[in-house]
Structure 1
Amino acid sequence: MNGSENMDVVVIGAGPAGLLAALRAGDLGARTALVTRDALGGMAAHDGPVPVRTLAQAARLLRDARQLGRYGIAVSEPVLDYARLLTRVREVAGEVRARAALREQIAAAGVIVYEHAGAARFVDPHTVETQRRLLFRAEKFILCSGGVSRRLPVPGFDLTATHSDAWSLTTVPPTMVVVGGGATGAQVASVFTAFGTRVQLFQAAGRILPTEDEDVSTAVAESFRQAGMVVREDFGAIERFEEAPGGVRMVFARDNLRDSVEAALVVVAVGWTADTSALNLAAAGVETDSRGFVRVDAHLRTSVPHIFAAGDVTGRRMLVPQALQDGFVAGSNTARAPMITVADEVCPIGSFTNPEYAQAGLTEAKARQTHDVAVAVVRFDTTTRTIIDGRTTGFCKLVVDRATRKILGCHVVGERAVDLVQTAAIAIAAGMRVDELAHVPLSFPTYTGVLGRAAAIAARQLQVDVDRAPIAELLCRQDGAAGP
């Protein structure tokens, strides 16, 4: 061993959960070490939201450039230099790691950071060693090792690629099959369609984006098809992958009818599992659930009282904002008493596909199970800002409880959907009534103003007096909309 460190808290993994867990524990006075296999930032910085959003920005710029002629700006047809784009992706990821990964705050909190330490494993319940022969003893641990793409038990699976492989390609493939129509698969399919790849998106379930509101799934699928993507929902079951002259062939069957499809690259994005194989959890006595995720209670404590877990490794909500919340809770609970619990708060979710889609709160179907609801929908082809920008695909949908007038859910497809839903999430978290949201004089013409207009329509449906909301009411009349 290269010596050992005795700490109060050791955080394993430096993604969003690990970064905030270490910062919180350090702020509370615990002697804290942050140990990471590679560099700070984790999947979010290296092959998750940061590089994905950078690639999506390139796709957006291509799309924007193609409509410049509508605004009297003469330019030649844009051409993608993929090698240069990858350089930009690396630049952005490096800048985020250097400037936005809480480095300065973590250092100021007295946290000792061990980057590129290699995989960590438990020797016993209070001792961890790494591949670089670093040894740590601690009173408490926080597991933030993240997740990895789920593998399929299908012959020839090794011929396929993951979303991480897709982001690291050196050239744009001419053809691609994407298996899995959830958030990750949809992003891969959308980005490479924009780059000129002929993409086929396969989804085993009856619709892509199955966790989204059904209207969102329908609208995104239709937009994908209009962009030239082939979307095959309820396609059956995969029998095998095999080599083909042009790349990889996927053989599948539905209702005893066999079919196949070939592409230069097959990307499989069918879920996420905990990255725990190297941790040697058995040596610490840490239990996992039936899906392989680390089992935690409401305090994020594992089956071993002095070991906590946060972020993707728990399998709860595998998103950056929720990982940050988990990190705060776990860091607090390892460094102080009384302990706090994770809150089941509104969770805004969105994706930078073309078109974007996003949600906050309950879907319409889920809300109708326990509530009498009113639904207001504003189409993007009827709103001023979207018409100005030439981005008229999509809609904003509000789901409201009739009895309390509380906003239960917001679902958006279209330009700036992810940003728009953040405002709705704040309103839901604050317990605002829909008429109260309609009273807010949001700026005109803006994308957020579409939300105010939907709120005014919902309020009228509920026969709530909106005379105190002259701007929202004016927007409804000016844009030619009326409540159902």
Structure 2
Amino acid sequence: MTFDYDLFVIGGGSGGVRAARVAAGEAGAKVALAEEDRYGGTCVIRGCVPKKLMVFASEYAGVCDDAAAYGWKMTNEGFDWTAFRGKLEGELDRLEGVYRNLLAGSGVETFDQRASVVDAHTVRLADGTQKTAKHILLAMGGRPVKPDIEGAELGLTSNDIFHLDKLPETILIIGGGYIACEFAGILNGLGSKVTQFYRGAQVLRGFDDEARGLVSEEMIQNGIDLHLGTDILSLSKNGEKITVKATNGTEHSFDQVFFATGRVPNTDDMGLEAAGVKLGRKGEVDVDGYSQTSVPSIYAVGDITDRANLTPLAIREGMAFVETVFKGNPTKPDHDLIPTAIFTQPEMGTVGLSEEEARDAGPVEVYCSSFKPMQQSFAGRADRVLMKLVVCADTRRVLGCHIVAPAAGEMIQLAGIAVKMGATKEDFDRTCAVHPTMAEEMVTMRNPTRTHK
């Protein structure tokens, strides 16, 4: 049987684009890609990139005060959202152009429209035309969801936050995950009065308890009105305000309400189950270790599989797919010991097991140091940072590393190499400290803070 293409990719995010251009450019495959929205996907257009630029913008709020402590005379005339948003939109346009040019330069044919699956080798475009391919790669990503409550349509999601005409004076953020906490810090830094409701006992569930506890404390100290054990029942419009009924019996009014209450894979109305592709409980595409679905000719990478929803991992999955299918080198993407940064304020960087996970697995030693960093302390700020190693008591291997500090994301990238290589606590100890830095604590902690048998 002859096909129109060797590979048809559905989705123009980081994973899909990387797989498409490598298959075409390096493996010589005939490749097409369809994207119904903007090229670049969640990360570039409505996620990591614009969010990180907003983090940078928000962190300038305290620069004038800190500079004064160091002898500089500076004035803060306030944040201009309109000017920033215009430059942000220009940068996203530039990045989308880069993605389009990479595809074109690799010889990938693109279709700016929705595509769905008809069968194991056929996709249907929104204009009704059908294309056949020896292999189909699903890379449609995910999307934020709102809770099923009265008035939910009045709230924003992370897809909307970058397009506001003006910053709200007051905003309620609902949720306690990394997206909720990151945007709480961003909007607080940009000048909004931020209230955050989370139904759980502590934010950032699933991360190291000590690390997330410090992040929570610092968020509150920075002015975020955080309410734990609190959820909402309904939203209603009250003039220009949105009134929120909370589960604790109170009512509050805000200019905006922002839901950060979860994401789901984009598998709705894609024809997947009719084509024989097995989906999981949350609608995620079920794949094996090689990203292959229940239909042998159809593969899936990225957030649509709900394995670990991270852009660099989607890219690695896309590369492994090309190695497996087009280069004859069966390759499984490595999902073990993934370094992760959360761009809260302060940042958190983490790799490996939390103290709680390690404690449940066997005897561990915990080395931990929390202190005021030099730069902030000199400026008169009360900010604290955390450096933490979780060590197997038997093998001495470092099982987990957790950092809460400015630039924690930069530090955890390098610490992740050591942890991935299987470094022991003694390997850390043998490494000379770089002084004076925050990170030198990682190699100077000699005595365990506590042990778990």
Q: TM-score, normalised by structure 1?
A: 0.87
Q: Which amino acid aligns with 1:182?
A: G
Alignment correspondent of 1:472:
none
Larger CA deviation: 146-155 vs 339-348 = 339-348
Q: Is the CA contact 1:21–1:332 (under 8 Å) kept in the aligned structure 2?
A: no
Aligned pair in 2 of structure 1 residues 20, 400: CA closer, same or farther (>3 Å)? same
What's the offset of the Cα at 1:454? 2.4
Task: Answer whether contact 2:286 2:305 (CA < 8 A) is retained.
Answer: yes
Q: Out of 428-437 and 51-60, give the one that drifted further.
A: 428-437
Q: How does 1:20-169 map to 2 (within 5 A)?
A: 20-26=18-24, 27-99=26-98, 101=99, 103-104=101-102, 106-114=103-111, 117-133=112-128, 135-169=130-164
Task: Say which SS state the counterpart of residue 159 (structure 2) adopts.
Answer: helix
Alignment of 1:81-480 (within 5 A): 81-99=80-98, 101=99, 103-104=101-102, 106-114=103-111, 117-133=112-128, 135-235=130-230, 237-254=231-248, 258-381=249-372, 384=374, 392-441=383-432, 443-447=434-438, 450=439, 452-457=440-445, 460-461=446-447
Opposite residue 345 of structure 2, the aligned amino acid is N
Structure 2 portions without partners, runs of 5+: none
Q: Which runs of 4+ in 1 moved over 6 A?
A: 388-391
1:429 positional shift: 0.7
Q: 1:119 to 1:420 in 2, by over 3 A?
A: same
Deviation of the 1:38 alpha carbon: 2.5
- Residues 227-254 of structure 1: CA distance to partner in whole angstroms, max 9, x if unpaired? 221111111x432222223422222325
Whole-angstrom CA distance in 2 between matches of 1:340 and 1:389: 51
Partners in 2 of 1:14 and 1:461 — Cα distance?
Answer: 50
The 8 Å contact of residues 433 and 443 in structure 2, kept in 1 or not, is answered as: no
In the TM superposition, residue 378 of structure 1 has moved relative to its aligned partner by 2.4
**Identity of matched residues, %:** 27
Secondary structure in 2 matching 1:66? helix
Q: Which residue of 2 aligns with 1:19?
A: 17
- Separation of aligned partners in 1, 2:403 and 2:247: 34
Aligned partners of 1:232 and 1:388: how far apart in 2?
31
Match of 1:476 in 2: none
Report the Cα distance in structure 2 between the residues aligned to 1:162 and 1:134, rounded to whole angstroms: 33
Shift in CA distance, 137/433, structure 1 to aligned 2, threshold 3 Å: same
Which residue in the other structure is 1:8 paired with?
Answer: 6
What is the alpha-carbon distance in structure 1 between the residues aligned to residue 158 and residue 164 of structure 2? Answer: 10
Q: Distance in 2 between matches of 1:483 and 1:122?
A: 54
What's the CA shift string for 1:208-241, capped at 9, x where partnerless? 1112111122111111111221111111x43222
- SS of the aligned residue for 2:250 comes to strand
Shift in alpha-carbon separation, 1:107–1:5, aligned structure 2, 3 A = farther
- State the SS of the aligned residue for 1:152: coil
Q: CA deviation at 1:159?
A: 1.3
Does the CA contact (< 8 Å) of 1:240 and 1:252 recur in 2? yes
Deviation of residue 87 (structure 1)? Answer: 1.2
- SS of 1:206's partner is coil
Change (3 A) 1:336 1:61: same
3-state secondary structure, aligned to 2:399: strand
**1:39 to 1:5, Cα distance in 2 relative to 1, 3 A:** farther
Distance 1:396 1:68, change over 3 A: same
Cα 1:396/1:219, change in 2 over 3 Å: same
State the alpha-carbon separation in 2 of the partners of residues 294 and 63 from structure 1: 44
Paired residues of 1:162 and 1:268 also in contact (CA < 8 A): yes
Instruction: Compute the displacement of 1:389 (Å).
Output: 7.9
CA distance in structure 2 between the partners assigned to 1:37 and 1:374 by the alignment: 50
Q: How far did residue 350 of structure 1 move? A: 1.4
Alpha-carbon spacing, 1:173–1:122, altered in 2? closer, same or farther (3 Å): same
Code of the residue aligned with 1:272 in structure 2: it is R
Q: Secondary structure at the match of 2:17?
A: helix
Query: Is the partner of 1:163 in helix, strand or coil?
Result: coil
SS in 2 for 1:192: helix
What is the rounded CA distance, in whole Å, between the counterparts of 2:177 and 2:218 in structure 1? 16
In structure 1, runs of 5+ residues without a counterpart are 463-481
Structure 2 Cα separation of the partners of residues 70 and 188 of structure 1: 28
